[in-house]
């Protein structure tokens, strides 16, 4: 059967004959995965060397190898083979090697030159896994160092890809485009469906499609929970005896995944309920209809707790096209999208690369082994600085590198184990404690999937693996544990499983996840500061201490749920495990009392405490300074005098800055005072142990220390606290108002022609002219204008109300008065 990709094979051959890099963009179902490697196998530039084909998933890798081998009339392991973790099929004649993405990084570590390999193909690169990004970056780096004589050729393929950015990374690599899909796909849009309504909406859409459409259905759902719920809904509604419902997600066994991919039995239709595992590479036999929920659930690393958290998000437009393409691989098809056409415009163009949101510790360890700094590699998207530094900090804490960032012998041993650095550290140290066998089985479970998903959180129920009911997943875990056993070279006498010390092994990998039950509650506080809880009725629920292997939930959930954990004995601390850190705590309590104690801590977990002796005065003063930083300047005993002083200084500073670039007057705003507490407040602070004693502090000497001579005298001259009125009395200026306000009875301003000014005449004072009863009659900065214009109206209104007070016709020539009319006025 002719496939669309075959039309561009001549162009691709010419491109790779003249260039060492190329990009292929082809629609889903075009045949790029299986046709391109076979077509390039006999090219002269390959000269008998191998082709490595990278696939993002194990199932896709196996199926691709099988189909290419079948097209050659051979079995897998002859011309076409595959290699993945714990499994490989290859022989002396193997020329095309299909590998999962992580395998390439290990191949490059053992042989940076990739001797005998002429072409590396990155298939479905749009998925942008960390391993794919690292593999490409290392391939470019190693090629420059080791392949001058026969450069390694690189081919990147995808249906949906930001090909322009990739072309720039690959030295302006040519882009070969396969136009058109083998079969057309009709797109049908629906109404906006929120995440909470996905199960109901998808179930109804499936029933509609089974009535309306022919062929099998591929249904994209966010995760396993929704798949199980939709499966139950369809079974309860009796969708028909001719309908086979097949789940498809990553934690299923390979055999169960293959059952979903194979053609349905004769006379039956298939409804495949899948996560985004079915977006790429897989051809699911018989599918002509896709139902797309528009949601996907992906792990996102949370740097605050050092764990990945599942986030349910809208898919990208590129992902929507990938999913739609599944319907047109074998025949004309249709896709039913549970969102509107307008809503699709709100979707992001591409998915965020995993390297921007993943745990970077494994990547960092690999680069340490290479002796390459992250900045030396060419990345399509470089790791972000903060998560990268956190990854290096973790490796340093595990002893994988020294303070200078150089790989240690322990780090080298960790890198030799094909697992996460935390688990590698656990395996090595548990082996030294005689717990190698226990650690091997534990590492197998934690690096794969839970064999007893519904058995509660207690990890001891999973060990030893030999006690579990035999199944494909258990067999796979045993094989993985066996690999760790061989790598650690465990002697036969060291192979006993010790479930009671499981928590000790787990704490070696996750010391930051040692957890203690909170007083009076069911939740646990972890050493990393996070809180989590067990499901009600879990067998671990009565334990005061745990080590949490896996916890999480969904975004928006207030508290994490503990999925896997083990009992922990605090007596291990200081013996098999490092002793808790001793910390002298000087901390303010909610009641204002200063806590003074010596605590034994694991991270943020308090293991023990004892009262510490009273610290010196400097420690107490600095503790008080920290409280003021946290609580704000309102913690200080401000009064009207100190606030007016602050406002007077700020007025003079602002006037300077209005007419120039600088001012000799200090910035005494609240934020500025907080920023420089040490310079002005610390010398005046008392050494106290209760916050209420702070109220006895006289704040003015501390504030006045910010002025240098002769500024105190100039402050009184330029921004006086009081102004002398025409009556000879004085009135206070309110500098907390802007402009400053002088409130005075109207009669006291008789004879004054102009509004008073301060700051050397630069700032007029706003007059609040008051009635005899003290109520505002006029607010003005132009007293002359008031006398000339508004006074006559005020006089008419006030003269009848206050006949004993003077209301002269000519206020400018009148005598100012404080009280009522004097005799003879």
For residues 554, 560, 561 and 563, what is the CA-based torsion angle, rounded to 10 degrees?
90
Cα–Cα dist 293/200, whole Å: 11
With CA atoms as reference, report the closest residue to 607 among 573, 557, 560. 573
Quick check: 46 and 117 in contact, CB under 8 A?
no
> What pLDDT is recorded for position 609?
85
Q: Which residue has the higher pLDDT, 817 or 614?
A: 817
pLDDT score, position 610? 84
End-to-end CA distance of the chain: 119
Residues 6+ apart with CB under 8 A from 675: none
720 vs 732: CA distance, rounded Å: 9
pLDDT tens digits along 714-733? 999 999 999 999 988 999 99
Q: What is the DSSP letter of 144?
A: H
Separation CA 554–CA 558 (nearest Å): 9
- Of 198, 215, 200, nearest to 289 by C-alpha is 215
Going across the sheet that includes 594-602, the strands are 581-588, 594-602, 605-611
Confidence of residue 823 (pLDDT cuts 50, 70, 90): very low
Query: Can you tell me the mean pLDDT for 790-802?
Result: 88
Distance CA 703, CA 113 (A): 69
- The reply to whether omega before 739 is within 30° of 0 (cis) is yes
CB 51 within 8 A of CB 81: no
Average pLDDT over residues 58-87: 90
Beta bridge partners of 268: none
- Which residue in the block uniquely carries the two structure tokens 């009184």? 716
Q: What are the extents of the domains in the chain?
A: 4-178, 185-352, 361-505, 633-717, 723-799
Q: pLDDT digits over 501-555, tens only?
A: 999 999 999 999 999 998 877 789 999 888 899 988 888 988 999 999 988 765 4
pLDDT at 303: 66
Of residues 329 and 602, the one with the higher pLDDT is 602
> Residue 204 has which token pair?
């109804």
| pLDDT digit string, tens, across residues 358-394 | 889 999 999 999 889 999 999 999 999 988 999 999 9
Rounded to whole angstroms, the Cα distance separating 740 from 767 reads 9
758 bridge partner residues:
763
Q: What is the mean pLDDT of residues 217-225?
A: 90
Q: Which helix (H) or strand (E) holds 352?
A: none
- pLDDT by residue (tens digit) across 445-493? 998 878 887 788 999 998 888 888 776 578 888 888 888 998 888 765 5
Least confident piece of the model among 253-257, 551-555, 662-666: 551-555
Q: What is the C-alpha to C-alpha distance for residues 546 and 433, in angstroms, rounded to an integer?
A: 20
Average pLDDT, integer, range 566-575: 93
Q: Are strands 80-84 and 117-122 parallel, antiparallel or unpaired?
A: unpaired
Q: How far apart are CA 514 and CA 603, in angstroms?
A: 9
Q: Which three-class secondary structure string do you get for 449-492?
A: CCCCCCCCCEHHHHCCHHHCCCCHHHHHHHHHHHHHHHHHCCCH
* Contact partners, residue 608, CB within 8 Å, separation at least 6: 580, 599, 600
* Alpha helices per DSSP H over 705-790: 711-718, 783-785
Spatial strand order in the sheet of 216-220: 185-189, 333-337, 287-292, 216-220, 269-274, 243-248
| For range 769-785, the mean pLDDT | 90
Q: Could you give the 3-state DSSP secondary structure of residue 136? A: helix
Taking residue 655's Cβ as centre, other Cβ atoms within 10 Å add up to 19
Q: What is the spatial distance between Cα 552 and Cα 567, in angstroms, rounded to a whole number?
A: 19
pLDDT in tens, 665-687: 999 999 999 989 888 988 888 88
Architecture of domain 4-178: 3-Layer(aba) Sandwich (3.40)
How large is the angle between the packed helices 472-488 and 254-261, nearest 10 degrees? 140
How far apart (Å, rounded) are the C-alpha atoms in residues 191 and 172?
42
Q: Measured in whole angstroms, how far is the alpha carbon of residue 472 from the centre of its chain?
A: 34
Contact 108, 135 (CB under 8 A): yes
Helix (H) or strand (E) holding 647: helix 640-659
Domain 361-505 has CATH 1.10.8.50: no
| Residue 651 near residue 735, CB atoms below 8 Å | yes
For domain 185-352, which architecture applies? 3-Layer(aba) Sandwich (3.40)
Report phi then psi at 402, rounded to 5: -90, -175
Q: What is the pLDDT of residue 824?
A: 45
Which residue did the predictor score with more confidence, 147 or 428?
A: 428
Helix runs in 55-197, H state only? 58-71, 101-110, 130-146, 163-169
List the single range of 74-88, 252-266, 331-345, 423-437 with lowest mean pLDDT: 252-266
Q: Radius of gyration over alpha carbons of the chain, in Å?
A: 38
Q: What is the average per-residue pLDDT within 648-655? A: 92
pLDDT over 80 (residue 6): yes
Q: Beta-carbon neighbour count of residue 235 at 10 Å?
A: 11
Give the pLDDT of residue 57. 85
Q: How far apart are CA 172 and CA 264, in angstroms?
A: 45
Distance CA 572, CA 566 (A): 14
- Between residues 34 and 493, the one the model is more confident about: 34
Q: Which of 43-57, 464-478, 494-508, 701-715 comes out lowest in average pLDDT?
A: 464-478
More confident residue, 220 or 306: 220
> What is the chain's percent helix, strand, coil content, to nearest 5?
40, 20, 40
134 and 100 in contact (C-beta within 8 Å)? no
Examine the pLDDT at 174 and tell me if it is beyond 80: yes
Regarding beta strands 80-84 and 216-220, do their DSSP bridges make them parallel or antiparallel, or are they unpaired? unpaired
Do the two domains 4-178 and 185-352 of this chain adopt the same fold? Answer: yes
Quick one: which of 823, 751, 818, 734 has its CA closest to 787?
751
Share of the chain above pLDDT 90, in %: 44
Q: Are 747 and 778 in contact (CB under 8 A)?
A: no
């Amino acid at each position: 059967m002719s496939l669309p990709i075959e039309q561009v094979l001549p162009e691709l051959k010419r491109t790779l004959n003249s260039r060492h890099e190329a990009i292929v963009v082809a629609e889903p179902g075009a045949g790029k995965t299986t046709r391109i490697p076979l077509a390039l196998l006999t090219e002269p530039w390959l000269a008998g060397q191998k082709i490595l084909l990278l696939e993002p998933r194990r199932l896709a890798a196996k199926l691709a190898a099988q189909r290419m081998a079948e097209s050659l009339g051979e079995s897998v392991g002859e011309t076409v083979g595959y290699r993945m973790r714990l499994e490989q099929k290859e022989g002396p004649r193997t020329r095309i090697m299909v590998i999962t993405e992580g395998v390439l990084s290990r191949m490059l570590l053992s042989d940076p030159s990739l001797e005998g390999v002429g072409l590396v193909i990155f298939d479905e690169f749009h998925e942008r896994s960390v391993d794919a990004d690292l593999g490409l970056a290392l391939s470019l780096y190693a090629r420059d160092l080791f392949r001058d004589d026969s450069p390694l050729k690189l081919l990147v393929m995808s249906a949906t890809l930001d090909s322009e950015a990739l072309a720039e990374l690959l030295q302006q690599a040519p882009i070969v485009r396969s136009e058109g899909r083998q079969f057309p796909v009709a797109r049908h849009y629906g109404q906006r469906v929120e995440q909470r309504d996905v199960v109901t909406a998808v179930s109804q859409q499936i029933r509609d499609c089974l009535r309306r459409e022919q062929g099998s259905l591929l249904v994209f759902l966010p995760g396993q929970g929704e798949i199980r719920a939709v499966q139950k809904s369809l079974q309860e509604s009796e969708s028909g005896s001719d309908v086979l419902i097949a789940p498809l997600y990553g934690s299923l066994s390979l055999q169960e995944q293959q059952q979903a991919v194979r053609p349905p039995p004769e006379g039956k239709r298939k409804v495949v309920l899948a996560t985004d595992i079915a977006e790429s590479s897989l051809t699911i036999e018989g599918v002509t209809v896709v139902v797309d929920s528009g949601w996907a659930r992906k792990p996102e690393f949370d740097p605050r707790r050092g764990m990945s958290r599942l986030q349910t998000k809208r898919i990208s437009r590129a992902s929507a096209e990938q999913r739609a393409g599944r319907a047109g691989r074998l025949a004309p098809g249709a896709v039913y999208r549970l969102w509107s056409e307008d809503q699709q415009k709100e979707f992001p163009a591409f998915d965020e690369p995993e390297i921007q949101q993943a745990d970077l510790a494994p990547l960092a360890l690999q680069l340490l082994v290479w002796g390459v700094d992250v900045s030396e590699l060419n990345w399509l998207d470089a790791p972000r600085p903060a998560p990268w530094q956190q990854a290096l900090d973790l490796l340093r804490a595990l002893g994988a590198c020294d303070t200078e960032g150089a790989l240690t012998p322990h780090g080298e041993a960790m890198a030799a184990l094909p697992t996460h650095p935390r688990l590698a550290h656990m395996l090595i140290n548990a082996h030294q404690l005689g717990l190698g066998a226990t650690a091997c089985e534990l590492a197998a479970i934690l690096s794969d999937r839970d064999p007893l998903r519904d058995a509660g959180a207690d990890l001891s129920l999973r060990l030893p693996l030999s006690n579990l009911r035999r199944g494909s997943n258990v067999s796979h875990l045993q094989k993985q544990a066996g690999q760790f056993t061989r790598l650690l070279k465990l002697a036969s006498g060291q192979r006993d499983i010790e479930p009671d010390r499981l928590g000790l092994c787990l704490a070696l990998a996750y010391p930051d996840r040692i957890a203690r039950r909170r007083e009076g509650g069911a939740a646990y506080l972890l050493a990393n500061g996070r809180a989590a809880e067990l499901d009600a009725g879990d067998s671990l629920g009565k334990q005061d201490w745990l080590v949490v292997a896996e916890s999480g939930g969904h975004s928006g959930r207030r508290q994490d749920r503990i999925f896997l954990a083990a009992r922990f004995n605090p007596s291990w601390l200081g013996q098999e495990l490092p002793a808790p850190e001793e910390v002298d705590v000087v901390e303010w309590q909610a009641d204002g009392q200063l806590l003074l104690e010596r605590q034994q801590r694991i991270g943020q977990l308090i293991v023990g405490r004892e009262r510490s002796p009273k610290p010196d005065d400097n420690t107490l003063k600095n503790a008080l300074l920290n409280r003021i930083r946290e609580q704000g300047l309102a913690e200080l005993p401000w009064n009207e005098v100190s606030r007016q002083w602050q406002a007077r200084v700020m007025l003079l500073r602002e006037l300077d800055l209005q007419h120039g670039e600088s001012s000799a007057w200090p910035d005494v705003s609240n934020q500025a005072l907080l920023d420089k507490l040490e310079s002005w407040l610390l010398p005046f602070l008392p050494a106290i142990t209760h916050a209420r004693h702070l109220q006895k502090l006289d704040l003015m000497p501390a504030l006045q220390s910010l002025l240098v001579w002769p500024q105190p005298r100039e402050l009184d001259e330029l921004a006086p606290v009081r102004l002398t009125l025409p009556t000879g009395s004085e009135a206070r200026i309110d500098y907390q108002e802007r402009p400053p306000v002088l409130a005075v009875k109207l009669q006291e301003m008789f004879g004054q022609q102009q509004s008073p000014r301060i700051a050397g005449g630069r700032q007029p004072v706003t007059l609040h002219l008051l009635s005899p009863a003290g109520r505002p009659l006029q607010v003005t900065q132009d007293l002359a204008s008031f006398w000339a214009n508004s006074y006559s109206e005020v006089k008419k209104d006030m003269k009848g109300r206050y006949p004993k007070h003077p209301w002269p016709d000519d206020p400018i020539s009148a005598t100012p008065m404080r009280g009522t009319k004097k005799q003879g006025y």
